[in-house]
Amino acid sequence: MAKFEEVKNGLIFPVGEKNDAYAQYFIGQSYLKNLIADPEVNVGVGNVTFEPGCRNNWHIHHDGFQLLLVTGGEGWYQEEGKPAQFLTAGDVIVTHDGVKHWHGAAKNSWFEHLAITAGTPEWLEPVSDELYNQL
């Protein structure tokens, strides 16, 4: 049984639908509930939920940033060239413009965060199983 199963029902914000629009940039299943998607505001806010073992590809935010507010479960965040950071509820990550990074669930845990994002994402290669399995 996976840890933090209650995350799959949404802790603070709804889980949303299967993240089919971005599925090609994830290994495993994620869910997305857009909370703010106003074209007059240059920042999007989404509740992203990851099934155990799910992670997104390496990516970069150009002309912007990404803030992650962890609301439940256990997961990982890593910037290129730095060690991965273990994340739990209450952790906050600031990703600056142009920084290559990835984030996702721990192998045996659901994971949920709010993603506050500005700019344009550039999706890159998947996080290798070799790297991920070493965490």
Supply the pTM of this predicted model.
Answer: 0.94
Q: Each residue's pLDDT tens digit in the chain (135 positions)?
A: 788 888 888 878 989 999 999 999 999 999 999 999 898 999 999 999 999 999 999 999 999 999 999 999 999 999 999 999 999 999 999 999 999 999 999 999 999 999 999 999 999 999 999 999 999
- Judged by DSSP in three states, 42 sits in coil
State the architecture of 5-65+79-117 in CATH terms. Sandwich (2.60)
Q: pLDDT at position 5, please?
A: 85
Per residue in 6-23, pLDDT tens?
Answer: 888 887 898 999 999 999
Q: Radius of gyration over alpha carbons of the chain, in Å?
A: 14
Q: pLDDT at position 95, please?
A: 98
Q: Compute the residue count for the chain.
A: 135
Q: pLDDT at position 85, please?
A: 98
Neighbours of 35 (CB within 10 A): 15
CA proximity to 104, closest of 60, 53, 34: 53
What CA–CA distance (Å, rounded) separates 54 from 37? 24
What CA–CA distance (Å, rounded) separates 36 from 24? 23
